[in-house]
Structure 1
Amino acid sequence: MGKTAADGQAEDMNDRLQGKRFRRSNDNRFLAGVCGGIADYFGIDANIVRLVFVVLTVLGFSGVFVYVLALLIMPAEGERHSLLEQIIRNFQGKPGQN
């Protein structure tokens, strides 16, 4: 059977999504690169993401909690595992892997 146009579009979308992942930014960082990584993922300015975190914190929603959670979950650029994965591996006594 031959490929249809929909199959080709699905493969193109899958290829684009494979390379696009949440990563903490090494270049666009103020504290830990979380806002820069989120901004890179969505293609927006990092200052907008930082402003959203500040507004969430001021309005009572814990922007700090969300930031720390993202810091633990998002791996840095060039690393395979997140900080949380590394902590869990160390707790289990397994060697760290990057």
Structure 2
Amino acid sequence: MKRLTRTTEDRKLAGVCGGLGEYFNIDPTLVRIIAAILFIPFSALVAILYIAAIFLVPNDTEADQA
């Protein structure tokens, strides 16, 4: 079963975009570009969702242990 995790391999800030890229099997750079584009008109919402994902989505190393 595939789980959403924050990556430790392709990490820029907290690994959220890298983890989303791995989960959806797309390039994490594309996820980062989409997030940056969405940040312009929806800055507060994107920032809140990103920060929430940092605390709610486990690292891939933590998910392997569970």
Superposition TM-score, scaled by structure 2 size: 0.84
1-side partners of 2:5 and 2:57: how far apart?
5
Q: Does 1:48 align with 2:30?
A: yes
The number of residue pairs the alignment matches comes to: 63
1:41 alignment partner AA: Y
C-alpha root-mean-square deviation of aligned residues, in Å?
1.4
2:19 alignment partner AA: G
Counterpart of 2:18 in structure 1 is 36
Could you give the per-residue CA deviations for residues 52-97 of structure 1, whole angstroms, max 9, x where no partner exists?
A: 11111101252211111111110001214xxxxxxxxxxxxxxxxx
Structure 2: unaligned runs, 5 residues or longer: none
Sequence identity (%): 35
- Post-superposition shift, 1:40? 0.2
1-side partners of 2:3 and 2:20: how far apart?
9
After the TM superposition, which segments of 4 or more aligned residues of structure 1 sit over 4 Å from their partners? none
Superposition TM-score, scaled by structure 1 size: 0.59
How does 1:1-98 map onto structure 2 within 5 Å?
A: 18=1, 20-61=2-43, 62-80=45-63
